[in-house]
Amino acid sequence: MYSVILVFHVIISILLIIVILMQSGQKADIAAVFGGSSSSTVFGPRGATTVLAKVTGVLATLFILTSLSLYILSSRAQKGSVVEKSVVQQTQTKK
């Protein structure tokens, strides 16, 4: 189960990177800092949401869910800490 979720997590990560890089910028250039014509997009209406923005939202949600799932599965599988296991092994070898 853990391996399947991990592979799915890696695939989602790669797809998320690709989709983010495919999106165009907000067109906020240096003129926006000085009150240029494109500064109205900073606080104004954003218009229709693109397909890439929706895909990014879905992939980001899946990424968070798989991250939480991997955390829960790994915390259930590991009992105790590495330090405690090391101390137990050292005391067993000394006896």
Domain ranges of the chain: 2-94
Q: What is the mean pLDDT of residues 80-95?
A: 68
pLDDT in tens, 37-59: 554 455 555 556 788 889 999 99
Which pTM was predicted? Answer: 0.62
**Around Cβ 12, how many Cβ atoms within 10 Å?**
20
Q: How far apart are the first and last CA of the chain?
A: 39
Mean pLDDT along residues 83-91? 70
Mean pLDDT of 15-28: 81
Stretch 9-20: mean pLDDT: 95
